[in-house]
Amino acid sequence: MIRNPRTHGFTAIELMIGLTILVPILFAVLSTGTVVTRSMAVNEGAAAVWADTVQIKNRILQFLRPASLGSMQIYDGMAWVLPAEATPYQTLRYRTLDAMPVTGQPYLKRGRELSFQLDRGETADGKDNDGDGLVDEGRIFLAFSDSPASRSVLGSHIEQFSMMRKGRRFFISLQRARRDRNGTMHRATLQTSFYLRNN
């Protein structure tokens, strides 16, 4: 007795036709999933580098806002001198105001030093010297100016940092870079200004 192939599954031709239709659909679904996953990683990476940059900026402001304008100094290669107006600097010394008396000199706390230093293997030449994908990167340090060993890191993977004053107004420019989990590099650049407190 000859069985009817229709009642016992698919014929070879039907299977081939089915596979011909299904395989491209399967590939399309998989590749769409890959694109979506990559896109999520890119979005997460962009959001993360932005959040990091804002956090570093907030840390800097927390320490710099109470700075006494008259106490600020920059190193000109020879000595510590007053910073010039509207000139960007990467290192700054200052003392914070403890209290403002009704008369006489304000009470100043211990001096601090805020500085940007290039990572080992990098030079400030607009190139990625150490091959990690970041250009002219370094860290921002804060220390008591009479105790370099007290320094702590306020931010790393910083490609650009500068501080500038115009009267009582202070400007900070900051760029951070980091890779997401797929290796794509993300950068966030932030510029902000604020008025020094109690000056």
Q: How many residues form the binding site for Ca ion (CB under 5 A)?
A: 10
> How far, in Å, CA of 179 to CA of 162, rounded?
23
Task: Give me the amino acid identity at 137.
Answer: E
Cβ neighbours of 182 (radius 10 Å)? 12
Which CB, 113 or 137, lies closer to Ca ion?
137
Q: Is 128 one of the binding residues for Ca ion (CB under 5 A)?
A: yes
Task: Count each helix (H run) and each strand (E run) in the chain, helices first.
Answer: 1, 8
- x/- mask, Ca ion, residues 130-149, rule CB under 5 A, reads x-x-x-x-------------
CA angle 31–32–36, rounded 5-degree value: 115
Which CB, 41 or 118, lies closer to Ca ion?
118
Tokens 């080992």 belong to: 120
Nearest Cα neighbor of 139 from 161, 113, 171 is 161
Which CB, 122 or 180, lies closer to Ca ion?
122
| Selected range binding Ca ion among 42-50, 56-64, 107-115, 123-131, rule: CB under 5 A | 123-131
| Selected range binding Ca ion among 3-11, 57-65, 116-124, 161-169, rule: CB under 5 A | 116-124
> How far, in Å, CA of 169 to CA of 41, rounded?
38
| Selected range binding Ca ion among 72-80, 88-96, 128-136, 165-173, rule: CB under 5 A | 128-136
Q: Is 129 one of the binding residues for Ca ion (CB under 5 A)?
A: yes
What is the contact surface with Ca ion in residues (CB under 5 A)?
Answer: 122-123, 125, 127-130, 132, 134, 136
